[in-house]
Homo-oligomer: A and B are copies of this chain.
């Protein structure tokens, strides 16, 4: 089955207190593509942080003024080189600068990561179900770097109603032999796919993905399914 990824245009500037479920539900359902059961909405972290008030003031005359914030928000510093600090956040994410960033935020401000992006996703999902009678999956995405490979990609930092990791172990491949390594992080793949239409400079904060395998739609959590505990991690 084919998958279609639509940019959701017409989302106005989000401020603290905006109910994202109401906003996104209304914009999507009155838009060109509507909203259908089984759609997956990918919502970029920045508007979630803005809606939840996770924005702090920084001294805009000092290009390093967000660094003390990074130290405060990180529970652990993994690596440091020049201005770059690779951190572990309280959520268990390993990313640069504790996920704090300055792009698409008003001058003199920085956006922190949402407190609990699984819960943020769940709220958006429940609001859309309540207001529009449509059951969608929701992913909150953010842009992370990674070791060994240049360039950033979008990954899932929260989800609701869509599996984060799909376990195909025990199913057979096309030649009838049991698959060996097949826990696929579809939430990260969906977040990456969404970024291809949102872009960084476009200011399009939501993508609508239609055609997702219905077997993947279920209760889920990035915290429980994606975050690898330090004890099973070989690179911490």
Contact = CB atoms under 8 A, between A and B. Distances in A.
Given A79-B235, A196-B193, A151 B185 contact: yes
Interface residues of A, number: 75
Contact of A173 (B145, B153, B201): B201
Most buried by B among A103, A186, A203, A236: A103
Given A203-B174, A235-B79, A188 B153 contact: yes
Interface majority SS on A: helix, strand, loop or mixed?
loop
B185 A189 contact: no
A182 B199 CA distance: 10
B200 A173 contact: yes
A213 B199 CA distance: 10
A57 interface: no
Interface of A: 1-7, 78-79, 81, 84, 86, 93-94, 96, 101-107, 143, 145-155, 164-166, 168, 171-175, 177, 179-186, 188-190, 192-193, 195-197, 199-203, 212-213, 225-228, 233-236
A3 B197 contact: yes
A108 B173 CA distance: 15
Most buried by B among A174, A227, A228: A174
Nearest to A171: B201
B171 A106 contact: no
Contacts of A107: 177
A40 B149 CA distance: 21
A94 B148 CA distance: 7
A30 B92 CA distance: 48
